Amino acid sequence: MAGLAASFGSGAMSNSMDDVAQQAKAFFIIGSNTTEQHPVFGTMLRRAVRFRGAKLVVADPRRIDITEFATLHLRQKPGTDIALVNGLMNIILEKGWEDKAFIEERCENFDEFKATVMNYPPEKVSEITGVPVEQLYEAAQIIAENKPTAVIWAMGITQHISGVRNVMDLANFQMLLGYMGKPGGGVNPLRGQNNVQGACDMGGLPNVYPAYQPVTSEEAQAKFQKAWGATSNLKVGAVVTEMMPGILEGRTHALYILGEDPVMSDPDTHHIRKALEAIDFLVLQEIFPSETSAYADVLLPGVSFAEKTGTFTNTERRVQMVRKAIPTQGDARDDWWITSEIAKRILAATPQRVQPEAPFAGWEYRDASAIMDEINVVTPSYAGITHARLEKGERLQWPCPAKDHPGTPILHTKALSRGKGRFMPIDHVPPAEEPTEDYPFVLSTGRVLYHWHGGQMTRRAKGLLEIYSEALIELNPDDAARLGLNGKNRVRVTSRRGSIEAQAWVTDRVPPGMVYANFHFPEASANELTIAALDPVSKIPEYKVAAVKVELVR
């Protein structure tokens, strides 16, 4: 969440789900198919709309399920979010609805930002986004009058080449209206997988140590050198979307992958397969053979969540226990044990690397709670979060800097983490790939309610597969008629990178000219088609826009 970090100094969801659902006067959902991707939070929002009369503005090219509850649905063209948000802010300034006191006291760089927004008058924005001018005014009014409005987004905002800038623009939006640091307001990015938040918090990123301590900082480096007795250099490492091409370019020679399936989840599958074929050594730690395991040299059986003890951190920074319910299956081992054993072997062979007197030089962990004890010492925001406290039933959201600290449900209540919130002038940039004569459709990708990610778990859950048993391509009825589907429903979707065949689901969920596909099924995975165009800062690929052609399979 590089965008939020730049604006406020923290990249996590600023409020809690419960707080948002109970306190917000209105919701502005942009790029989140909430009821399918975060279903229980989706139902909390549905309840707020139905029983509390909260207003709901949804901006999404597709008629996703939650639009049923929307006061207003804006159907912007894919990849035009910045223009849309700038257009709304332009109207807010025109009408004088901004929170002048908040801007004055708690923000900076307003004038430069304002100059940019002035370039987005409603008529121009309507042209770029395809949203009628009246709807822009209506949306701005709903959001400005219902104080506070919570902004909620997910991958529909981040998975663009402009993802980081999209996020910064939403931060601008909430500062402009003074909706930061208030119950029911804030910026609320919903994290996809169960523990994305925790993986980031724990330093599972190339640019930061645990708790976002930058690897480029000498101070942070010295701290970890002291704690661990050895650490890495000051250079930011490679992200996954750089490691993979690095194989073919001779930069990456070995990969250690824990519980991920890049063949299914990374963009441009064909290219990933080529890269993995060429790697010198790939060790994969997984519970099932996967599309990726076909390329692995060693496969180490880890365990499912039902067999492990530890913690997950949810999208609202809440740290919760995962408890072992059943014995480890077969000869599988705890994932933390496997990692420790590899570490011990390497250190035994090269003992000179580590200063042995450092307090956490070693890898002898009794259990997961002992690992958490070490995390407490080196991770300021987790300093007070122990298994013992969680087992006592305490409810803790980070930052929790001490053993007697109650945790922090809402961020930025007094001041924004970086002191003053910084307005960022953001301009619209068109997506990397736009429709052409040969590839006239826009493809967008994502998940469906009944499946998860690469589908390794949900395709092995019988009932889920029964309800949603194969990849479906959403296609507008007008397009279906034009393609002569005429009751037949098998289509081939082709991009410049690959081609898939699947059943069409003819539905007006998608507007004419757009198709939507998921990546749950290897035989027709959307990532055969997606483009590896990356956001320059976050390196997130543009899953949400690619140009494709659609043909009837005869």
Nearest of 168, 77, 150, 140 to residue 424 by alpha carbon: 168
Q: What string marks each residue from 183 to 202 as x (binds ligand SF4 by CB under 6 A) or -?
A: --------------------
* 337 sits in which H/E element: helix 335-349
User: Which window, 14-22, 36-44, 363-371, 457-465, contacts ligand SF4 (CB under 6 A)?
Assistant: 36-44
Binding residue for another protein, selected from 115, 222, 298, 481, defined by CB under 8 A: 298
- Which one of another protein, ligand SF4, none interacts with residue 304, CB within 5 to 8 A by kind? another protein
- Which one of ligand SF4, another protein, none interacts with residue 132, CB within 5 to 8 A by kind? none
Nearest of 284, 287, 317 to residue 200 by alpha carbon: 317
**Under 8 Å between Cβ of 95 and 66:** no
Site for another protein in 469-508 (CB under 8 A): none
Distance (Å, rounded) from C-alpha 197 to C-alpha 183?
Answer: 21
CB of 314 to ligand SF4, least distance (A): 8
Please classify residue 483 by burial: count the beta carbons closer than 10 Å to its beta carbon, then call 0-12 exposed, 13-18 middle and 19+ buried: middle
Distance (Å, rounded) from C-alpha 542 to C-alpha 546?
Answer: 8
Nearer to ligand SF4, 40 or 101 (CB): 40
Nearer to ligand SF4, 122 or 198 (CB): 198
Distance (Å, rounded) from C-alpha 295 to C-alpha 287?
Answer: 16
Distance (Å, rounded) from C-alpha 361 to C-alpha 346?
Answer: 13
Nearer to ligand SF4, 36 or 374 (CB): 36
Binding residue for another protein, selected from 456, 494, 518, 525, defined by CB under 8 A: 456
Distance (Å, rounded) from C-alpha 44 to C-alpha 517?
Answer: 27
Nearer to another protein, 178 or 229 (CB): 229
Rg (the chain; Cα; Å): 24
Nearer to ligand SF4, 118 or 461 (CB): 461
Nearer to ligand SF4, 38 or 387 (CB): 38
CB of 188 to ligand SF4, least distance (A): 15
User: Which window, 52-60, 175-183, 248-256, 497-505, contacts another protein (CB under 8 A)?
Assistant: 248-256
- Which one of ligand SF4, another protein, none interacts with residue 332, CB within 5 to 8 A by kind? another protein
Nearer to another protein, 141 or 207 (CB): 207
Bridging pattern class, strands 281-286 and 298-301: parallel
Site for another protein in 217-246 (CB under 8 A): 224, 228-233, 235-241, 243, 246
Tell me: does residue 538 bind another protein (CB under 8 A): yes
Binding residue for another protein, selected from 222, 346, 402, 429, defined by CB under 8 A: 346
**Under 8 Å between Cβ of 110 and 7:** no
Nearer to ligand SF4, 36 or 434 (CB): 36
User: Which window, 32-40, 220-228, 473-481, 536-544, contacts ligand SF4 (CB under 6 A)?
Assistant: 32-40
Residue type, 413: T
- Which one of ligand SF4, another protein, none interacts with residue 239, CB within 5 to 8 A by kind? another protein
| Half-sphere exposure at residue 412, Cβ-oriented, CA atoms within 13 angstroms | 35
Angle, alpha carbons 13-14-15 (nearest 5°): 100
CB of 272 to another protein, least distance (A): 12
**Under 8 Å between Cβ of 98 and 176:** yes
Fill in the DSSP letter of residue 190: P
Site for another protein in 174-203 (CB under 8 A): 190-203
Nearer to another protein, 40 or 101 (CB): 40
Cβ-closest residue to ligand SF4?
40
Binding residue for another protein, selected from 219, 249, 349, 392, defined by CB under 8 A: 349
Bridging pattern class, strands 310-313 and 318-322: antiparallel
DSSP per-residue string spanning 389-421: HHHTT--EES---STT----SSS-SSSBTTBSE
- Which one of ligand SF4, another protein, none interacts with residue 484, CB within 5 to 8 A by kind? none
User: What sign does the dihedral 140-142-146-149 (CA atoms) show?
Assistant: negative
Q: Which residues of 500-534 are buried (b: 16+ CB within 10 A; e: fewer)?
A: bebbbbbeebbbeebbbbbbbbbebbbbbbbbbbb
CB of 448 to ligand SF4, least distance (A): 13
Residue type, 21: A
Site for another protein in 313-332 (CB under 8 A): 313-316, 318-327, 329-332
DSSP per-residue string spanning 518-551: ESS-GGG-GGGT----B-TTT--B-TT-EEEEEE
**Under 8 Å between Cβ of 435 and 547:** yes
Tell me: does residue 40 bind ligand SF4 (CB under 6 A): yes
**Under 8 Å between Cβ of 187 and 158:** no
Collapse the DSSP code of 139 into the 3-class scheme (helix H, G, I; strand E, B; otherwise coil) and give the result.
helix
Nearer to another protein, 17 or 546 (CB): 17
- Which one of ligand SF4, another protein, none interacts with residue 431, CB within 5 to 8 A by kind? none
Q: What string marks each residue from 456 to 485 as x (binds ligand SF4 by CB under 6 A) or -?
A: ------------------------------
Nearest of 469, 471, 473 to residue 524 by alpha carbon: 471
- Which one of another protein, ligand SF4, none interacts with residue 174, CB within 5 to 8 A by kind? none
Binding residue for another protein, selected from 115, 222, 467, 553, defined by CB under 8 A: 467
Nearer to ligand SF4, 39 or 289 (CB): 39
Binding residue for ligand SF4, selected from 8, 13, 29, 39, defined by CB under 6 A: 39
Tell me: does residue 326 bind ligand SF4 (CB under 6 A): no
- Which residues here bind ligand SF4, judged by CB under 6 A? 38-40
